[in-house]
Amino acid sequence: MAGRRIRDRWHNSTPERDNRDVIGEKSADDQASALAFILWRHALNGAINLHAEDFRYDSDQQRIGVISELLAFQIQHIDRLTHAFVDDDSRARLINELCNKVAGHMQENLSDIAGPGNYIPPFIALLNRRFKNYAEFTYQEHEPGYAAFRYLGHQVLDIMGDDQDNRWVIDQIIEIDAPDITEQITKSTQRLFGRDT
């Protein structure tokens, strides 16, 4: 996937803070907002990249479906990744805020594409299903393994359809896109939490 620059560092100035829930130097809300923007960009870029690699979308619904799967994959990866350096209560608040912020991005974008509607409940339902499924996969040193990549690839294939144009999309996801997104999200998360020293 073509590397596009996404801002993933906090400005060096330290603003005055109140007694908000703080994770590192920023509140859970601040961290979740930054991560939601980054995840949305990576998911959008991932969907665009599949088209650039000559995989075919037949509808905007398929495109949104792929973006949704990439978002679910990234959120669960952040949950696993932050387990190493954020306490359980703070991590639960972070992931909850992150899901809400990403759902807000989904609502805004689907309203523009498909018209008025409440798109958040189906997206949250998808996240809950995917988190349950991803929880079954083991991680090595906080990195997803082949089984998680394969699961993501199958979800994308199911959305796009197993026809002549798309039958190799699972290989694209497993071998290229999922490892690339994982690497980028790991770096971005570590930078935002000041863990990239």
100 burial class (0-12, 13-18, 19+ CB within 10 angstroms)?
middle
Q: For residue 71, give the nearest of 123, 33, 2 by alpha carbon.
A: 123
Q: Is the pLDDT of residue 162 over 50?
A: yes
9 burial class (0-12, 13-18, 19+ CB within 10 angstroms)?
exposed
Mean pLDDT of the chain: 87
Query: Using 50, 70 and 90 to split pLDDT, how confident is the model at 197?
Result: low
Q: Is the pLDDT of residue 151 over 60?
A: yes
Higher pLDDT, 26 or 164: 164
143-152 average pLDDT score: 95
* pLDDT of the residue at 85: 87
Q: Is the pLDDT of residue 120 over 70?
A: yes
The β-bridge partners of 22 are 27
Sequence ranges of the domains in the chain:
25-192
**Span 40-64, pLDDT tens digits:** 999 999 999 999 999 999 999 999 9
CA atoms lying within 13 Å on the CB side of residue 92: 2
Judged by DSSP in three states, 154 sits in: helix
What is the rounded distance in angstroms from the CA atom of residue 45 to the CA atom of residue 40?
A: 8
Q: Is the pLDDT of residue 125 over 70?
A: yes
Long-range own/partner contacts, residues 125-134 (CB < 8 A, 24 or more apart) = 126/68, 126/72, 127/71, 127/72, 127/75, 127/99, 130/69, 130/72, 130/73, 130/76, 130/155, 131/72, 131/75, 131/76, 131/79, 134/72, 134/73, 134/76
What is the rounded distance in angstroms from the CA atom of residue 148 to the CA atom of residue 92?
A: 21
What is the rounded distance in angstroms from the CA atom of residue 123 to the CA atom of residue 138?
A: 24
Q: Residue 192 CB: number of other CB atoms within 10 A?
A: 22
Judged by DSSP in three states, 15 sits in: coil
